[in-house]
């Protein structure tokens, strides 16, 4: 169960394989939680590392905190245009442009169109709703019985939040969960039969949202994400596939990441009972703990860029057009930037100094919303439960991008 054990068990493998054979992209390692020593070795021996062959073609891995920060804050050298995951390229026939995968000036204009949704006054408005909903979800949890925390709490809460941001028909909100899963799931997930099937389902998502767009385009004053897109200067004439792309961004951005942080917190506290006890004694540490959970979990393992020019990074010659992958999951465990980085410490100094939200012009738009959601959930959990006890092995998602859980078996013990 413990991460330390997983690390020890794979240590030998990670150091016996030749550097150029390290399959750092392998999603099985993320499912099995055995990727840590591979990154530790790369940080030490080859921090900007070239993989010549992989199912995703050739790519560079950037594994240290400062180098990742450099790539993220130099968008004029490292472009997001066309895709931000290791496996994605805009040459695919099912193209869904979205502003996270655009460079300025279009990126900046589209981001500005929707960023009001997470502006401080709106967050204040949302906090009461989140608290009430979190309370209801926690009050309805089964007692004296094992259940899946991911399903009953993390998914339910983040889906409700997403439905609120879109002003999405409440009774259909689980469609959002389905589409979010469909976007991030791989072929072994059982969620879809073929790529054609997956694309057909995503077109149904577009169809559903087009009805909502048409309802809102002629009314003014709507403060939901769909109204913002329908009225925004830079988005109101988007082709349908760009509408779908931006929907995908907003659905996945606000859903999987926060979901996996809510689940990750339960796992981290159970693996570190001394920290759980510290939290019970000092609930005022919740805001700091939230940042530590987000660092420790790193819900998105990487973001990828493409070099717009020849450049040098960490002494390595990167060629124009090369794929460059920033492994946030590794940078967040870089001992040169974060003291004792493998430890989960809820009162860690400067806990907000992590890479999980990225940096630069693409820095997570929803970072304050995510932190607020997590803070409120933990405040409400502490009011009700002495322990949310992890009673079995968590099941992790098989993905080198979304780092999270499908199953976190727990029992709750009231105060
Ligand atoms: C713990 C939760 C979250 C994590 C870890 C996370 C992580 C990230 C990361 C790594 C990026 C890209 C940063 C970069 O390339 O430099 C990003 C971008 C983004 N996130 Fe989040 N996110 C979270 C929650 C949310 C929420 C709740 C929303 C909802 C509004 C959201 C919306 C977005 C959007 C729209 C972008 C694109 C920003 C741009 O390209 O300018 N995220 N997020």
Per-residue pLDDT of the chain (415 residues; tens, 9 = 90+): 455 555 555 667 889 899 999 999 999 999 999 999 999 999 999 999 999 999 999 999 999 999 999 999 999 999 999 899 998 765 567 889 999 999 999 999 999 999 999 999 999 999 999 999 999 999 999 999 999 999 999 999 999 999 999 999 999 999 999 998 898 877 777 888 888 999 999 999 999 999 999 999 998 878 899 999 999 999 999 999 999 999 999 998 888 899 999 999 999 999 999 999 999 999 999 999 999 999 999 999 999 999 999 999 999 999 999 999 999 999 999 999 999 999 999 999 999 999 999 999 999 999 999 999 999 999 999 999 999 999 999 999 999 999 999 999 999 999 9
Q: Is the CB of 301 under 6 A from ligand 1?
A: no
Q: Is the CB of 108 under 6 A from ligand 1?
A: no
Q: How far away, in angstroms, is 47 Cα from ligand 1 center?
A: 25
Ligand 1: nearest atom to the Cα of 261: 1
Q: Is the CB of 71 under 6 A from ligand 1?
A: no
Q: CB–CB of 138/274 below 8 Å?
A: no
Q: CB–CB of 6/33 below 8 Å?
A: yes
Nearest-CA residue for ligand 1 atom 19 is 364
The pLDDT value recorded for residue 255 is: 87
Q: Is the CB of 365 under 6 A from ligand 1?
A: yes
For residue 54 the two structure tokens come to 């992989």
Long-range contacts of 178-182 (CB under 8 A, 24+ apart): 179/205, 179/248, 179/251, 180/251, 180/252, 180/255, 180/256
Ligand 1: nearest atom to the Cα of 158: 27
Ligand 1: nearest atom to the Cα of 114: 35
DSSP helix/strand/coil, 369: helix
The pLDDT value recorded for residue 179 is: 93
Ligand 1: nearest atom to the Cα of 361: 41
Q: Please calculate the CA angle 122-220-121 and round it to the nearest 5 degrees.
A: 10
Ligand 1: nearest atom to the Cα of 369: 27
Q: Is the CB of 364 under 6 A from ligand 1?
A: yes
Q: Is the CB of 325 under 6 A from ligand 1?
A: no
Report residue 66 CA to chain centroid gap: 20
The pLDDT value recorded for residue 154 is: 96
Q: Is the CB of 300 under 6 A from ligand 1?
A: yes
The strand pair at 59-62 and 323-327 is best described as: parallel
**Dihedral-angle region of residue 144 (phi above 0 means left; psi in -120 to 50 means alpha; beta otherwise):** left
Alpha carbon distance 351, 120 (integer Å): 21
The pLDDT value recorded for residue 5 is: 52
CB atoms within 10 A of CB 207: 11
Residues contacting residue 200 through CB under 8 Å, at least 6 positions apart: none
Q: How far away, in angstroms, is 365 Cα from ligand 1 center?
A: 5
Alpha carbon distance 359, 102 (integer Å): 15
Q: How far away, in angstroms, is 252 Cα from ligand 1 center?
A: 9
The pLDDT value recorded for residue 1 is: 43
Ligand 1: nearest atom to the Cα of 102: 40
Alpha carbon distance 319, 309 (integer Å): 7
For residue 138 the two structure tokens come to 């926690």
Q: Is the CB of 360 under 6 A from ligand 1?
A: yes
Q: Is the CB of 181 under 6 A from ligand 1?
A: no
Q: Is the CB of 249 under 6 A from ligand 1?
A: yes
Alpha carbon distance 394, 148 (integer Å): 9
Ligand 1: nearest atom to the Cα of 101: 40
Please report how many Cα atoms fall inside a 13 Å half-sphere around the Cα of residue 241, on the Cβ side.
9
Q: CB–CB of 306/324 below 8 Å?
A: yes
The pLDDT value recorded for residue 331 is: 98
Q: CB–CB of 313/389 below 8 Å?
A: no
Q: Is the CB of 261 under 6 A from ligand 1?
A: yes
Nearest-CA residue for ligand 1 atom 30 is 366
Burial of 30 (0-12, 13-18, 19+ CB in 10 A): buried
Q: CB–CB of 331/68 below 8 Å?
A: yes
Compute the Cα dihedral for 29, 30, 32, 34 and give only its sign.
Answer: positive
Alpha carbon distance 251, 243 (integer Å): 12
Residue that has been written with the tokens 């510290």 in this structure = 278
The pLDDT value recorded for residue 90 is: 53
Instruction: Please report how the helices 195-216 and 240-271 are oriented relative to each other, as an axis angle in degrees rounded to 10.
Output: 110
Q: Is the CB of 294 under 6 A from ligand 1?
A: yes
Alpha carbon distance 180, 14 (integer Å): 33
């Amino acid at each position: 169960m413990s991460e330390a054990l997983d690390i020890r068990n794979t240590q030998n493998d990670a150091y016996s394989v030749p550097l150029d054979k390290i399959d750092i992209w392998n999603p099985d390692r993320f499912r099995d939680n055995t990727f840590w020593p591979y990154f530790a070795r790369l940080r030490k021996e080859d921090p900007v590392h070239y993989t010549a062959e992989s199912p995703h073609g050739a790519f560079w891995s950037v594994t240290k905190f400062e180098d990742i920060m450099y790539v993220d804050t130099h968008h004029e050298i490292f472009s997001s245009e066309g895709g931000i995951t290791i496996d994605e390229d805009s040459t695919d026939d099912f193209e869904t442009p979205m502003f996270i995968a655009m460079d300025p000036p279009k990126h900046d204009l589209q981001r500005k169109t929707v960023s009001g949704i997470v502006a401080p006054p709106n967050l204040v408005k949302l906090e009461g709703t989140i608290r009430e909903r979190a309370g209801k979800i926690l009050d309805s949890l089964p007692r004296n019985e094992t259940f899946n925390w991911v399903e009953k709490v993390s998914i339910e809460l983040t889906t409700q939040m997403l439905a609120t941001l879109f002003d999405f028909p409440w009774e259909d909100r689980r469609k959002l969960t389905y589409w979010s899963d469909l976007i991030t799931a791989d072929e072994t997930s059982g969620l879809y039969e073929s790529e054609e099937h997956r694309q057909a389902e995503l077109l149904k998502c577009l169809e559903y949202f087009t009805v909502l767009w048409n309802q809102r385009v002629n009314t003014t004053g709507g403060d939901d994400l769909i109204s913002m897109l329908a009225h925004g200067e830079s988005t109101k004439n988007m082709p349908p596939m760009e509408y779908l792309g931006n929907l995908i961004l907003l659905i996945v951005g606000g859903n999987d990441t926060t979901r996996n942080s809510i689940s990750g917190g339960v796992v981290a506290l159970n693996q570190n009972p001394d920290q759980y006890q510290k939290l019970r004694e000092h609930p005022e540490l919740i805001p700091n703990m939230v940042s530590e959970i987000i660092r420790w979990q790193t819900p998105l393992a990487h973001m990828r860029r493409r070099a717009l020019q020849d450049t040098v990074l960490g002494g390595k010659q990167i060629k124009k057009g090369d794929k460059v992958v920033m492994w946030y999951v590794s940078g967040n465990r870089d001992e040169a930037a974060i003291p004792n980085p493998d430890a989960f410490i809820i009162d860690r100094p400067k806990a907000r100094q992590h890479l999980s939200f990225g940096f630069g012009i693409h820095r997570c738009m929803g970072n304050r919303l995510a932190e607020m959601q997590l803070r409120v959930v933990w405040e409400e959990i502490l009011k009700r439960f002495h322990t949310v006890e992890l009673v079995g092995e968590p099941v992790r998602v098989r993905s080198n991008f979304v780092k999270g859980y499908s199953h976190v078996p727990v029992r709750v013990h009231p105060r």
